[in-house]
Amino acid sequence: MAKNKNPEKDRLALEVDTYDQWQKDQNIPIIRGFFVEDIKTVEVAPWDLKGGLGAFVNLDGCGDINDAYVCEIPPGGKLKPQKHIYEEMVYIASGHGATTVWQSKGKKHSFEWGPGSLFAIPLNAWYQHFNGSGSEPARYFAVTNSSFMMRLFHNVDFIFGDNYSFTDRFDPDKDDYFSKKGTLHGRFFLSTNYVDNTHTVQLYDYSERGAGGTNIKFDLAGNTMGAHISEFPVGTYKKGHKHGPGAHVIILSGKGYSNLWPAGTEMRRVDWKQGSVVVPPMDWFHQHFNGGAEPARYLALRWGSFRYRFMRPEGQTSTYTSIKLGGNQIEYEDEDPRVHKEFEAGVKAAGAKCKMGAFHPRCTAK
């Protein structure tokens, strides 16, 4: 018998990727790469599963642990009712409408949304989205863990056809599920199921990341996935840091750029604006800069609920502890000197003033 000369090739020939095949079967565009310039303008195509238009967004930084998609509801239209045994967080990019959510038994819950709204679909509950305008489309951006769940069970019928009701996550007998304000834990940890407007929601001190930044972290619908919003003032930038894959950073307001790089390599820059999305790859350092004349705010949809432990390795170090102390954050005094020099020149060209003097030892701005 001849010896196998390429066992890896044989293994790949036998490999089954349930998520990849399901995704191809949807017959809609798949956006890949490093960065999306504007989720409001990406190409979408008819998507039978949803009953609207859609496109997958599988950026390199996802690391195959989660995914995203854009979906558009035509004017006066509605999507098909559906449910699934994977988590999904929804950010409304444009338009106004409403969503109805229900279990197989119990009353239906409906709530309205508009640009900037954020909510999560309760696990395996039925839901349906409606466009409230007869003249304008509505578009949303969703981050899910469907890729993880489909590859775990490798059975699409189970993903969309299981009938178990997770009433511990969504109890249809509680009238205020999508209307209550939520519970704030500590300084900036909020348990809620609906955020009316991510552009204006109150944020709290996040000096750990530097330069007068503010933040709020969400536990949405009892998910193992999580979300947070960060904002940093004009003329400032955040400290460089690294973490695991799959954090979809959606720019809510402002104009600027991010540097991203694996340790020991040259930095890669992406320029962003409202509607842009970037996903830093696993263990890549990244640093966000406000290069415009208004505060910059972003929403990150990702793995990592602050309430429910999942896939968090023992001994994992903090993203806001200095690398000199074993953490994953680069303090201002330890960053490449070119970083601050380029930032000062950039904000000056944009007609803004650098305000890093109180935070950065190399800042020359007064």
> What is the structure's pLDDT at 346?
87
Q: Which residues, in sequence order, are CB contacts of 36 under 8 Å at separation 6+?
A: 42, 57, 59, 276, 277, 278
Task: Quote the crossing angle between the two packed helices 18-25 and 146-153, to the nearest 10°.
Answer: 120
> What is the structure's pLDDT at 287?
95
Domains in the chain, CATH or no CATH each? 20-161 (2.60.120.10), 183-349 (2.60.120.10)
> What is the structure's pLDDT at 4?
62
17, 22, 25, 28: CA torsion to nearest 10: -110
pLDDT tens sequence across 138-163? 999 999 999 999 999 999 999 999 99
Contact 127, 121 (CB under 8 A): yes
Q: Does the pLDDT at position 64 exceed 60?
A: yes
Q: How confident is the model at residue 11 (pLDDT cuts 50, 70, 90)?
A: low
Per-residue pLDDT, averaged over 35-57, amounts to: 97
Average pLDDT in the chain = 91
> What is the structure's pLDDT at 90?
98
More confident residue, 16 or 23: 23
Angle CA(234)–CA(235)–CA(237) in degrees, nearest 5?
100
Q: Does the pLDDT at position 123 exceed 90?
A: yes
pTM over 0.85? The answer is yes
The percentage of residues in the chain with a pLDDT greater than 90, rounded to a whole number, is 72
Q: Does the pLDDT at position 220 exceed 50?
A: yes
Task: For residue 120, give the H/E element and its range.
Answer: strand 118-121
